[in-house]
Amino acid sequence: MNDQVKYVLDESRLPEAWYNIAADLPSPPPPVLHPGTGQPVGPDDLAPLFPMQIILQEVSTDRFVAIPEEVRSVYRQWRPTPLFRARRLERHLDTPARIYYKYEGVSPTGSHKPNTAVAQAYYNKAEGAKRLTTETGAGQWGSSLAFAGRVFGLEVDVFMVRVSYEQKPYRRALMETFGARCVPSPSEETNAGRAILAEHPDSTGSLGIAISEAVEAAAPREDTKYSLGSVLNHVLMHQTVIGEEAQQQLEQAEDYPDVLIGCTGGGSNFSGLVNPFIGRALREEASIRVIAVEPAACPSLTKGQYAFDFGDTGHLTPLVKMHTLGSTFVPPPFHAGGLRYHGMAPLVSHLKELGLIEARAYTQTEVFAAGVEFAQVEGIVPAPEANHAVKATIDEAVRCREEGVSQSILFNLCGHGHFDMQAYTDFFAGKLEDHAYSEDEVAMALAGLPTVAA
């Protein structure tokens, strides 16, 4: 028996190109629309916010996009990341399933986010930007852009969702250690923030609001660009190094997954793992089960509507077609701050519509119980977001046991929970509240959807 538990790749095996699923889709996703005209946006519409190389990647249909050597040289600090066989978890669950996980927690900030942060900082620097603005939920993204900005000599301003700013002071400290400026959102620094505060002085914030603030802070300034940590095509593409490495590592293991699992907030860690596998299945006309897992308190994929909507609450962004709970939706406070987005990446939504992926939702108490179970047998404490993937993996492994089938399951352990121990403390104290999203709430949030001719 191959008793190996960890599959490592020499840095010579670091991918040389990102994989772009647009090349293999049976139909393209709907275009991004200008909110004023209802017409598809062009590169010029996006130029105030993004460097041209990023804009071209956003609309590229090339199957592979070369990773600049400057980006690969930073990746090499922590990539390739390890792929683990969860043998202790398999024994603990008494399952015939073979469970693997790709572990992105070894990055400088403990999550998958630097994969795109480094690329975005590089392209912005190359095209002359001096400063980046962005939003962050739990702080994984903000700290990653802070790190990447520092590497390439860019200033970074982070609008952090206020509830996370208050609940997670240590991720804020991490951003500040990397030299970034961190602003609780909604803030008094932007029109969008002031408008929210005027109406809701106690607003706990949301990713949608923080995006509005970061976009507003960047757009008018020539030397300042905006960076987004998820949702957009180029962001998802930058994450595909995860799945590309996993494919090489599973070759070492002489195995191939029957089931792929990832948690979904905006959709980037999920896509980073699964897109190379889905692309291969499409090219080979093979089938593979792919499960997106989201919080029951913010269930865009499972309960949202597939419609054109704004990416932000202040309606400064173009319209994208996605599974959405409505751009004004503010999810209740829960600990997986990285999954508190009202919409879903258009590419992930498109895959869902094409029937290429499934989706399910869990409440936070059950995902933390799964996370503690995983930590106790595997020794890694997952981030609250990753616990959603852990929960689905355990459920699938139990299904394998009940059905007596030995399937191979691969999930993305997209980050560690070292900065989230307060959430674990709350879980042990029985203090986690579960908010399952009701049909009434869905209807109310969707009532504000923009009308577009699509």
Judged by the rule CB under 8 A, the positions of this chain that interact with a second copy are: 3-6, 8, 10-11, 73, 76-78, 84, 88, 106, 108, 110, 147, 150-151, 169-171, 173-174, 176-179, 372, 375-381, 416, 418-419, 421-422, 424-425, 428
Nearer to a second copy among residue 101 and residue 308 (C-beta): 101
Residue 108 vs 265, nearer CB to a second copy: 108
Task: Select 74 or 351, whichever has its Cβ closest to a second copy.
Answer: 74
Residue among 116, 119, 146 nearest 132 (CA): 146
For residue 430, the minimal CB distance to a second copy (Å) is 13
Kindly state the DSSP code that residue 34 receives in the 8-state scheme: -
If the CB atoms of residues 229 and 417 are measured against a second copy, the closer one turns out to be 417
CB of 195 to a second copy, least distance (A): 31
Distance between CA 107 and CA 117 in Å, rounded?
12
**Contact assessment for residue 298 and residue 436, using Cβ atoms and an 8 Å cutoff:** no
Beta strands 358-362 and 289-295: pairing type?
parallel
Q: Which is nearer to a second copy, 39 or 77 (CB)?
A: 77
Smallest gap from Cβ 358 to a second copy, in A, equals: 30
Strand, helix or coil at 33?
A: strand
3-class secondary-structure state, position 362? strand
Shortest reach from residue 416's CB to a second copy, in Å: 8
> Please, where are the H alpha helices in 47-184?
52-59, 69-75, 87-93, 114-126, 140-152, 162-167, 169-177
Closer to a second copy by Cβ: residue 395 or 426 = 426
Smallest separation (angstroms) from a second copy to the CB of 60: 28
Minimal CA–CA distance to 89: which of 365, 396, 362?
396
Burial group, residue 176, by CB count within 10 angstroms (0-12, 13-18, 19+): middle
Q: Which is nearer to a second copy, 65 or 151 (CB)?
A: 151
User: Could you tell me the smallest distance in angstroms from the CB atom of residue 434 to a second copy?
Assistant: 20
61 vs 77, which CB is nearer to a second copy?
Answer: 77
**Which residues are registered as beta bridge partners of 323?**
306
- Find, among 102, 44, 25, the residue nearest to 283 by Cα: 25
Min dist CB 250 to a second copy, Å, is 16
Minimum CB distance to a second copy, residue 339 (Å): 21
Rounded to whole angstroms, the Cα distance separating 454 from 321 reads 9
**Which residues lie below 8 Å from residue 415, measured CB to CB, with a gap of 6+?**
104, 105, 110, 111, 112, 113, 140, 382, 383, 385, 386
